[in-house]
Amino acid sequence: MRNNFQHAQAAHCESGVTRNLLNIIGVEQMTEPLAFGIGSGLFFVYIPLIKINNGPAIAFRSFPGIIFKKTCQALNIDVTRKKFSSKQKAQEYLDKKLEEGYAVGCQVGVYYLPYFPKEYRFHFNAHNLIVFGKENGKYLVSDPIMEHETTMTEYELERVRFAKGALAPKGQLYFAEKKGAVTNETMQQAIKRGIKRNVVNMLHIPGAIGGVKGIAFTGKKIKNWRNKFGLHKSGLYLAQLVRMQEEIGTGGGGFRYIYGAFLQEAYEYLPVDELMRLSNEFTKAGDLWRDAAVQASGIYKGRLGSQEDFNVMGDYLREIAAIEKKAFEDLSKINWH
C-alpha cells in the first residue's frame, strides 16, 4: 500500500514535514520557508547549566513541535497528535491510519536511524519524518532531509519511535486534516501572526539567555571559555556551536537564510517593501554566523588559540545580536496597511 504522497527534500526536518503534510491535503501554496516563518521557527537560546553530548546546550530554533502546531493553527487546519505508552498500540494505530490513506508524521530519535551515516548518530530525539505506506512488511518513509524516499522494517521504525533520553518521542505521531479552503487572506493573517510571535520570542523573552540577548550573552561567555575550560574543551564547545548552527537541518547560517527566504515569500502575500529590505538583513546575519563558524573552526583545528582569537569570536556574536535586534525591531514596526 502506497498512499497519496510525494516525497520532497527540505533543509529542516520539521518545516519540511509540515510543508509535505500540508501539500498533500491541498494547501499547495505551503513552502518550507513559509512553514518556518508562520510557525515562528527562528530563535536562539544558550542554557549554560545543561549539557548535551558533553557540550553546551545551544539552539537556533524554537522548541520542537511548535512549527507544525502553530502553522496548522494559523491556517485553521485540524491536527491530531498522539503519544503511546505501548509499542504494540503505537504500531497498530500507525497501521490503521496508513490503511485509511493518511500520510503520518512521526517524531523519532536519530541514534538508531538505519540510513543515517554513523558519524551523525547522536542521541537527538526531535527528528521528524513521514510514513506514507507499507509494502512487503516494510514502511515507506519520507525523511525530508534525504534526497530520496527510503524504507524501514517494523523493528527499525519502532526503535526510533521509542528512542529514549531527552525529548523522548514516545511513539508520537501526527497528521493534518483540512477544514476549509486556505484563502489568500488566511495566509496573510498567518504570516503577520508568525512574524509578530517571532518578534516577541527574539526581543521580549524574559531572562538573558534567549533571543537576541542570548546571542550577545553567549558572545560574552565565549570570551571567558579559554580561561575557564582551556583550549581543548573550549574547542569542543565551539564545535558544538557550529554543529547546531550549520549541520544538516538548518539550511545554513543557523536558520537565518530560511528566515530571509520566508520574508521574501511573505512579500508576495503582503507587498511591503520593508520585508525585502529586512530579508537582506537576515542574509547578512546568516553570513556573519558563517564567518563566526570559520573563526571557530580556526580555534578547534588549532590554527588559532590566543585570547584575542576568542575575543574576535565573541565579538562576532555581539555584532550579530545587534543586527538581529534591529531587524526584529523593524519587523515589529511594519505598518501592514
Partner 1 sequence: MKKEDVPQDLGSLGKITKEVCYATDASGKYTTELSNGWQVKTNALDITWDDINQKIAAAKEKVLCNEVSPILFFMEKSVMNIGILSSYTGFFKWQIKRHLKPAVFNKLSTKKLTRYAEVFNVSVDELKTMNVHEE
The residues of the shown chain that bind partner 1, judged by CB under 8 A, are 9-11, 33, 53-55, 111, 115-123, 145-148, 164-165, 168, 235-236, 238-240, 242-243, 246-248, 251-253, 257-258, 260-261, 264-265, 279-280, 283, 286-287, 290, 293-294, 296-297, 300-301
Nearer to partner 1, 34 or 45 (CB): 34
Nearer to partner 1, 1 or 248 (CB): 248
Nearer to partner 1, 54 or 335 (CB): 54
Look at residues 53, 43, 49 and name the one whose alpha carbon lies nearest to residue 165: 53
CB of 77 to partner 1, least distance (A): 24
CB of 301 to partner 1, least distance (A): 6
Per residue, what are the HEC states of 297-314?
HHHHCCCCCCHHHHHHHH
Nearer to partner 1, 3 or 142 (CB): 142
How far apart are alpha carbons 98 and 2 in whole angstroms? 9
- Longest CA–CA span in the chain (Å) reads 62
CB of 206 to partner 1, least distance (A): 28
CB of 233 to partner 1, least distance (A): 9
CB of 251 to partner 1, least distance (A): 5
CB of 242 to partner 1, least distance (A): 4
Instruction: Note whether 95 and 134 are within 8 A (CB).
Output: yes
Nearer to partner 1, 98 or 331 (CB): 331
Instruction: Note whether 204 and 23 are within 8 A (CB).
Output: no
Report the run of H or E that residue 41 belongs to, with start and end. Answer: none
CB of 96 to partner 1, least distance (A): 28
How far apart are alpha carbons 305 and 296 in whole angstroms? 10
Nearer to partner 1, 38 or 77 (CB): 38
Neighbours of 246 (CB within 10 A): 18
How far apart are alpha carbons 141 and 110 in whole angstroms? 14
Nearer to partner 1, 208 or 276 (CB): 276
Nearer to partner 1, 48 or 165 (CB): 165
CB within 8 Å of 301: residues ≥ 6 apart: none
Look at residues 121, 134, 104 and name the one whose alpha carbon lies nearest to residue 160: 121
Neighbours of 242 (CB within 10 A): 21
Instruction: Note whether 81 and 172 are within 8 A (CB).
Output: yes
Neighbours of 72 (CB within 10 A): 25
CB of 240 to partner 1, least distance (A): 7
